[in-house]
Amino acid sequence: MRRASELASVKRAIVRIDPAFASPIKNLEPCTFGLKNPRMTQYQSLIRAVIAQQVSTKAARTISWRLETKCDGSITPTKVGKLSTKQLQSIGLTGAKVRTISELTHATLSGKVSFRKFAYLSDEEIAQELIPLFGIGRWTVEMFLIFHLGRLDVWPVDDLAVRRGWDNIHANSKPTKAKALYLLGEPFKGMRSVVAWYCWRAS
């Protein structure tokens, strides 16, 4: 109930700051960040985010399903760690993604990355833990922070759909660039993930 009340308050604040969001917030699918417990572990969420990089949603689902099958129904660090490079490539992963998944898995098993402490870390501290790993960039971390951890103040300006949605909401004739959108997001500090949600839905 606390998060539902918080989201309702955030949506009202967004409209006060920028009335252009009144229609999207009223008519598009409501933001649900943090309202439900995640259906997967943090490790699984990051693995799926890596798989989703630069491929279609359909392709990402297929590859994730194949990996799940290789892991006997549950993607865990221990099970993934036992798969060979050839086995990972056989499900449709590129060499780069195999390396990323392997590094993340090793870091998890060794304790270099400890998901248990993420609840106590800031967004930037979590980014500093994950970005040094090969193939995990800021976009991947932002998706993890928003969709798995339910963090409310992430502003993924490098996401094309967020920029396109912003332009649709504001009826812009020229595309807004990432640097410009970052500044436009400043008035929404503390609630930028929710703004991004409605931009995605409006894209």
What is the rounded CA–CA span in Å between residue 94 and residue 117?
30
CA-nearest of 123, 126, 121, 152 to 35 is 152
Of the candidates 72, 123, 159, 167, the residue annotated as catalytic is 159
CA-nearest of 10, 33, 42, 40 to 140 is 42
Q: Which residue has the tokens 């997001």?
A: 185
* Whether 158 is catalytic: no
CA-nearest of 145, 117, 146 to 131 is 145
Q: Which residue has the tokens 């297929």?
A: 62
Which residues lie below 8 Å from residue 25, measured CB to CB, with a gap of 6+?
Answer: 11, 14, 15, 198
Reading the block at residue 11, the tokens are 């949506």
Question: Catalytic residue numbers?
Answer: 159
